[in-house]
Structure 1
């Protein structure tokens, strides 16, 4: 600017003379301007658009250098390198100081626990990378999160196998004292023994030298310390799947210094994405090494566009939503998985509606929208990847709105939709008289239904169920759209701006490289089955859909005689469990499965190897078979058991009978498994299950090993009264579909279809075909037979004495009758014992047994400091059912609701009938949130279930959590009071005892 002014001053004109005068004035003012500029730079980031108020600026100017915590050894986040603070968090804090004008000095040396005491006493000003917990919030004020890191478990290489945090129960785990994991472990995993030390290095040393079994930490930190300190005998054992252990890092100040917290928070908004990426790339906060083969053009694109801006919605839970200031959800994790495969960073924009996001995509301000359904209306500005998310549509209405069970009932009503979503245009076309009202987001639309502003809302059914649950919109009920193909489901992919064809191709290709195991891990993480139902049907890729369209026939080979699993009947048809599963897959894949007849399992295996059939419907995975087959996820698994003659004793384990001859069917995988585990086992190969059981009967072999259903079925159907299941083995038969390995698309579609079968579908098939009885460890029949033998021997000797012949005959008859009565008495005693704790009508536990379980749980709680919850429920308007339909129908309803409840609780929960139409569920080691979620899930199951005659019913629930020192009666009373409040508030809802909040 100065050089231009001097040039203009040399021009011979009046304007030039004026400019020379201005230049002189400028030169006179230059020192002042320089000082002003220097002052401005010292408070860098404070501009005309600065978020800081005048009071903030005065605080910053008066503030001495902030004392900020820095640890000695916690790379790559903050550590000391040659006496100099280094790490991701240090760079972030330095950048924040530039943005705010604050000065910082780092304090290095104290332990984490000592740092916590210092910030509490206000001897330091700021804690870096700290996690917010309930205890810490009592004296600290936290900023939003700026970094998230997952936790992992490290053990010794020669230690016990650890696959997750649950495997650490009963073991010693070492962590730094005062770290937030201490609070979580003490609260949620009380049976893990804690060893508290100074820092992460001491944790690793404690595990290495055997003072602890494992430590929990972050991979980057612990790997750095292992290499730096030459600790070779530790290994990364598993990731901690419990999200509560993820380090959601924030800055924290003493609670009394709220203004400093607010200034730091405002400064964080001034940090740009480019600045964040620079820090991330320096410290490797995220792996951006591509796992895909890239062309030169694609590599150039990635170098020029390392950061992709994407839109996510803040309330599309559980797929996309905002939690504690960060974006999360199934679809976000999926998009990050794609980013890892490609080698890019995705930065998410939140807070904008879908309508605004579409406008931003049109204006080229963002690159993509996560989870969006395609359509012709978007083709001008967006390209869509193949779908990765298939979700079904639902309707939300108020509970008092009667007679609405489908879209037709809404044709003239007021209906809420979401701006930017496809539902509005489809509904307008189908129902021209429907009064549509568009809202900015899903939650506002649901609140409009609850308030009566509209009559219903249409959106993703899993999303509405999740939002209703999270926001306690208990006055709403939902149902899925069933009979409208255009509306009932939505296949969603990534919408990429149309001028980014390379990005679209990369993302589309990355989706094809996502494995089914990766998808399953995400589904398990987000618990999709509990938070809105299974994703409907199967989300096939475009290639898979095209493949299925042209491939209508799949040839299958089966085990010809392996009931109840599968068999070929006299008419040449497949029967058994597999036949029912195949019927499900035919419907899901829209294909026909043709049976290739075979006489033996070996023949079926040979046909599969020769490619004469495409699928073996049921097979165990072995290395030899992997040479020509690929195995889907297991869909049938049952324990392997031992069948013996009835007179043999109970078998506790295989090792007990390893010196006896045991039969296995030739070619079955269980034989190889047994040989590997017990090399000295005396195994005999037999031709079939029937052959094996016949050999047991003839005493050619001691026992026969196979799965419980097959042996139970054979004993029942073939009539073997002298054969019993004498014990279980430790082996679980996991059986899959085996697909020819030269057709990857066929494998992919079958594997997806198998995994899409629901728990209810599988259980229905199992229940249809399985009826297995085990002998107990006390063999009453054997005892009776021994007693009878003794009596017969005694009778023989007495018989020799002719003088006492008549007397001996009388004794023999009396003793035989007594033996029969004794045997009958034993059986009746066992039956009565079961009847005494079982409700006769519903076949769930009765009140007597519930009170016994109560006593046990209270003793456990008092001894170990644990807690447990109870859920009491009552069928709404049950008297009306009895009055309208009669007591027999009422009894059927009670039986049916018991079955619904049994399928919805966990294996550790105890369900019983408390009295009348009231049921009680005891939930061990369950807090109020877990019990509430379970009650909500059961309430929803009951409300959508179809009951005999009465059809739709509802139930009200009361939840209470045991409090230390509480008596059983008090706990039940609180649950009953909560149930009464649920009834009073309109029924079909869950209320929590106020004593537990």
Structure 2
């Protein structure tokens, strides 16, 4: 038998200690793990793709995206703390397989992985969609065979690529969705495919609002991709926690998160903070007064003039900022180069669509960018790729004058850079092969290619300058207007995402149509119709009785002028009867509006003072603002030239109020009406008189004021709206709809109404003969005494005239010299500008003149130039013809015209006469031909003489390129 004695105390103690040691050894790792788990607060490492926007991507150091939002919802529902590890999908997946990650995001279910991975339910089913350019629709794509007929763009390594390859679909692969979206925007492919959320997000981020998702790809089930969270197989508790938390997320919440990324780039709807201005900024705005904003008039769709008014994306943004801050805006429209010069000279306060560069920082405060657009190279040369300045070498490149990369481009390409004053002119040059490449922002370029219907234009690539991707659109502000830049930044930051997206979609979306054909439909609401019915469709209104041809009251007491024509049009489409309330002056009209004696003013400009009692529709007429002076008064560059001098303006006129803010040094004299102001100017009681171009033209013709002239232009036009009483908001709504219903053609007709006004004067011949008889009697008494003095004056005048003529006459040809040209060209330009008359500028150059000098000698060349001048004089003898020798063998002819065909015919006759004649020198017969470049157009107030001369020079260059002895004509405005 075995001994069953109990162990003694020593043995028991030994056994007890041994057991404790074994248990401690067994439990030690578990205790350490538990301690670490507690210390780490249940942190779960999860791999999230860093380059999968908008599902997941790094924004600075923070993880953003739809998937990241879902993971944060799971964390909130479960109490788990995720430790995000961002990286590429291959890197993350390998780390997950090695057990270095507890979970991985955005994994699709695969049966062969089910023994290694626990898959949650899908939190998103990703359908593959097609996207196309709305300007280049491909037609319906309903089968895989339809895809074979288009250029298809795909991202490399996508799960559906093997299927497409098996179906023999011709594909162009790209390394990322952003690259593929750009390829579609630039026209390199017809259709691209990918997840809808990703396609729309990257298209919107890049500003390609003309790209549209058109439908799901015709792949059946192969087009679906499920996004799940994968958990390590050996962590079922963690899997259950995540799965349970995922199920707690309501479907409505998932839809909301998805919509935020699909429509608003991840921002909360209405998530922008209210604008908070400090005391200094508030005082600054209160004391600021109206500001002048320069807006480019041919920069569609960002800013452009259509139907007589400025509109576009940038215009809407600055108007919204004005509403938020209380700024009073005076728009100043023109070409970019002119506006930039005006800004540098301090004649405008803010310049829209201005990109930041180092040179401009010396005279400009910049806001943050409100939009960034890519600059691309448009060309008709197939097969070339252009992404930097080096790629442009060997090509003639067109740019807009004053663009932020002009200096860098000229330094690199020299004379190959061709500078234009307008976008339209650049693309016309591309159309006629005068340049090889046009650099422009993508939306502007696409607009002009469509407008001009230029065939064969393609985008060679996005061109970046000094690592600057795209053109940053900002507001440039005068440095003296501190702290306006920060105020506008705060206002921009406060515009809600929804509102900004609405503005973007209006002007940059696929549905934008700038040229609306015909009048818009006028749909008044039931409430608006009831309001009109209660007033029996009758509205009292007041006008300025002496503001012709814009508006006035005739001798019979009837309303006449442009505003009468506008009300007639308004009445036709609304059945409203407008009832005139007669007043005796404009000031009385404003008082009647304050007293609510009239419901509206058909033609008024918005000012801070008037906004107290009136509301204003969008402007529907723009008229130039000018300064008149006596005939001997020199021309002025700006109103600053008239500081401390008396300047007249009608009392109550909009610019009387605005000028008090902007030019406190002017001694403004408020007059009763236009007639009184012009009389005071004639009598030298005023140094200048501010009015509009149409009213000045009307009164000067009507009253025969030959001793007055236009001496300057104010850098702001009258933007005229319908003004309604501000205690009837529904009336403003009605009239805004009426104004908006005007078609571009109707707006142009209203503008031409004042341009085409002609004065018919009647003469009382009885009174005339009486005046002449008295004058003859008086004159006969003075004849004898004046004869001797008159003879001396004539001799002195002849001497002075001779001296003056010699100072502006070319010694060789006896035509005008360069001084004559400089003096007369500007005068002719301004005359045509004031009188809305065509101006023709012809550059004339003798062909192969160097060869004549080299062959026959310089004296022979001089004889040829003298003969050429004689032929020129014989062919251009009209009163308005001006001839000058510009230098060497180059001449300039400028004249006014009614029909451009007439000028072309005269120049062609002149060219043929030169070719048919011959010069005989030293017994040798020399034949000469000439090339002519012609620029024609009716100068607008925004045009410059240099623009005409530059266009004529370009046409001359084209004439020489096309074989010489020919005429090339260009229109400044089509």
TM-score when normalising by structure 2: 0.37
Determine which structure has more spread, i.e. the larger CA radius of gyration. 2
Higher relative CO (Cα under 8 Å, sequence separation at least 6) belongs to: 2
The two structures have a TM-score, normalised by structure 1, of 0.36
